[in-house]
Amino acid sequence: MNTFGQIFRLTTFGESHGVAIGGVIDGCPSGLELDVEKVQKDLDRRKPGQSHITTQRKEGDKVEFLSGIFEGKTTGTPIGFIIRNKDQHSRDYNNLREIFRPSHADYTYIKKYGRRDHRGGGRSSARETIARVAAGAVAKQLLQNIGVNIQAYVSQVGEVEVKKSYLELDLGLTESNIVRCPDLETAEKMIARIEEAGHNHDTVGGVITCVATGAPAGLGEPVFNKLHADLGHAMLGINAVKGFEYGSGFAGTRLSGSEHNDVFVKDGETIRTKTNHSGGVQGGISNGEDIYFRVAFKPIATLLKEQHTVDSSSHEVTINPKGRHDPCVLPRAVPIVEAMAALVLADHFLMNSISKL
């Protein structure tokens, strides 16, 4: 299904080599001053060809808003938008028409739908996330109105990882380098690691960490739409994601309860927690502390080297893709993670506003 959210809802459409990718945001309250430049800026952060460690494909990826905005503000009616596809070398894909590429969605789409648009991965292409980034950029602006800020960064590439907690980093440095890692020394190693993968015609995975500051207490709708469950749902829906953890995550399973519990303390007039193993969410509801989580990305499946596989006639074949592909998805996935986090938080902010009389 292609609709995300309960109140602030995004519906998307579009294939990699179709006419356009687009979406409809429904449930955005009226009166939000919308800065279209900021939306475009996030699209540019996701765009291919932005640095030498991403694919060199050129795509304009200019968003066109079609409705729901009047004289610079949202009107409460649905916000439709499209991004036209360009630079389509669709014929390049003819030889892949009947091939099931390893660890791609070619085989499963055929099993499910009986047919597929094979060009560039069709609907299963990560190009589809353009619509999410555009909508997320709208959600971000809604959240900024209430003081919520979302910042993601690359915290691991292959075995190269940032050893520090996000609290020890200056997240303002994230955009200062092409890999989007605020730990500058590690950033250089990551870039080298990605270059190495590229040279080997191979790919490499990694982890993105995301932090939301300023979220009020109260966001989350137990028992099935706990805040972290909806965040996890959003992140796992991003292409190539294999895992999600928040707060202490998998590492927290090794602590004892007395080490793990976040003790409440008074901080002037408000109540805070001394530690934040909870990742800002307790019982599925935000408690006012920073919300933070980690998202695992597998190495991209498209390799520019020979691989064995099977085609739709069950013949064993060998493929050797050429073309322009990312050796590592992480740098371009940072705005996608932020966008999905923004969609979840905006939705929960609206839902929470009707929790009590």
Q: Answer yes or no: are the C-beta atoms of 209 and 165 closer than 8 Å.
A: no
CA–CA gap between residue 206 and residue 319 (Å, rounded): 26
Closest separation in Å from C-beta 91 to a second copy: 14
CA 253-254-259 angle, to 5 degrees, is 95
Q: How far apart are CA 81 and CA 64, in angstroms?
A: 5
97 annotated as belonging to a binding site for a ligand: no
Asked if 322 interacts with a second copy (CB under 8 A), we say: no
C-beta of 172: minimal distance to a second copy in Å? 25
- Is position 232 an interface residue for a second copy (rule: CB under 8 A)? yes
Applying CB under 8 A, among 225, 290, 321, 324 the residue interacting with a second copy is 225
Asked if 274 contacts 289 with a C-beta cutoff of 8 angstroms, the reply is no
> Interaction with a second copy in 191-210: which residues (CB under 8 A)?
197, 200, 202-207
Instruction: Give me the 110-149 binding string for a second copy, x by CB under 8 A, dash otherwise.
Output: -xxxxxxx----xxx---x-------------x--x----
**β-strands 3-4, 9-13: how paired?**
antiparallel
Rounded CA separation 77/300 (Å): 38
Binding-residue pattern over the window 24 to 53 for a second copy, x denoting contact by CB under 8 A:
x-xx-xxxx---------------------
Closest to a second copy by CB, 185 vs 256, is 256
290: CB partners within 8 A, 6+ apart: 166, 211, 212, 213, 276, 279, 280
Choose one: 41-49, 53-61, 77-85, 181-189; the region binding a second copy (CB under 8 A).
77-85
Site for a second copy in 249-288 (CB under 8 A): 249-250, 252-266, 269, 271, 273, 277-279, 281-288
CA proximity to 189, closest of 146, 155, 142: 155
Q: How far apart are CA 204 and CA 297, in angstroms?
A: 9
Q: Is residue 300 marked as binding?
A: yes
Pick from 48, 158, 198, 335: which binds a second copy (CB under 8 A)? Answer: 158
Contact between 318 and a second copy by CB under 8 A: the answer reads no
Q: Which residues contact 35 (CB under 8 A, 6 or more apart)?
A: 141
State yes or no: residue 61 binds a second copy (CB under 8 A): no
**Do 187 and 211 contact (CB within 8 A), yes or no?**
no
Q: Is 186 left (phi over 0), alpha (psi -120 to 50) or beta?
A: alpha
Nearest to 65 by CA among 27, 22, 29: 22
* Site membership for a second copy, residue 236 (CB under 8 A): yes
67 binds a second copy (CB under 8 A): yes
| 271 annotated to bind ligand | no
Q: Which stretch binds a second copy (CB under 8 A): 12-20, 41-49, 87-95, 165-173?
A: 12-20
Tell me how far, at minimum, the Cβ of 342 lies from a second copy, in Å: 15
Burial of 253 (0-12, 13-18, 19+ CB in 10 A): exposed
- 298 a known binding residue? yes
CB of 168: closest distance to a second copy in angstroms? 21
124 in a labelled binding site: yes
- Residue 355 CB partners (closer than 8 Å, separation 6+): 218
- Number of residues in contact with a second copy, rule: CB under 8 A? 148
Q: Does 55 bind a second copy (CB under 8 A)?
A: no
Q: Is 194 annotated as a binding residue?
A: no
Q: Segment near a second copy (CB under 8 A), from 39-47, 62-70, 171-179, 183-191?
A: 62-70
Going by the annotation, the residues of the binding site are 46, 123-125, 239-240, 283, 298-302, 324
